[in-house]
Amino acid sequence: MSPLRPLGGPALEAVDVTRSYALEGGTVQALRGVSLTIDQGDYAAVVGPSGSGKSTLMHLLGGLDRPTTGVLRVGGRDIAALSEDELAEVRNATIGFVFQAFQLLGRTSAVDNVAMPLVYRGVRRAERRARAAEALERVGMGHRLDHRPAQLSGGEQQRVAIARALVGDPQVLLADEPTGNLDTRTGEEVMALLEDLNSAHGVAVVLVTHDLDVAARARRQVRVRDGLLEAPA
């Protein structure tokens, strides 16, 4: 187990977090004091209207941004005390990301796309390709190792993206509209896969979604409006 990963306690924790952005003509306060805990093995959906602050919250929870005020812990580490390199290391060890647009490298095979996070850990090529192949097998894509994204359907690309998120054995999988570019049947298959990873393998899953049917599948919903949580989370 990586020494960066805590043996207990929350996987992600925000305490009275705010985030403001300076724009021409003034300041926009995207989050106005949000406290939220994502426990290991959690399954939560973050929902809210456009402009509510849910994407800002997701970026903060993923360690992709830092709060203006408040405390944010990723993998048990207060990110205010971390350099950019240290934060990247903690993020790589703790969190896997799945995006609506898949974010795969177009000229790169599925197995090498999945192996990419391991490059930043210094894992040797043979080992990272073996671990990537194993991750692809877990998501039902073991027969597509050498296919490039253009040779895959949307659902297959999302499975590759999920395998990439899983290859580093993260505590938390953050999924931003993971079914947004998929038809209903394929979206159902992807959701079933995420839920299996959560229930059978203990990976915490946090979804950002506009789809209330998708959100209803989570064990709890975190509702964001005007930069605040609407209900206890």
What is the value of pTM for the model shown? 0.87
The number of domains in the chain is 1
Residue 4's pLDDT is: 42
Confidence of residue 24 (pLDDT cuts 50, 70, 90): confident
**Residue 149 DSSP class:** G
Tell me if 123 is assigned to some domain. Answer: yes
CB 174 within 8 A of CB 58: yes
Domain with 105, as residue range(s), is: 41-54+84-229
The CA distance from 212 to 193, in Å, is 18
Q: Is residue 158 part of a domain?
A: yes
Residues 172 and 91: their CA atoms lie apart, in Å, by 10
In a domain, 7, yes or no: no
Give the whole-angstrom CA distance, residue 60 versus residue 126.
Answer: 33
Q: Considering the domain boundaries, does residue 131 fall inside one?
A: yes
Tens digits of per-residue pLDDT, 66-109? 999 999 999 889 999 999 999 999 998 899 999 888 899 999 99
Residue 1 has pLDDT above 80, yes or no: no
What confidence category does residue 5 fall into, taking pLDDT thresholds of 50, 70 and 90? very low
- Integer-rounded Cα Rg, in Å, for the chain is 17
Within-domain flag for 33: no
Residue 203 belongs to domain with CATH number: 3.40.50.300
CA 174 to CA 144: how far, in whole Å? 24
Residue 157 pLDDT > 50: yes
In a domain? residue 2:
no
Q: Give the residue-averaged pLDDT of 227-232.
A: 82
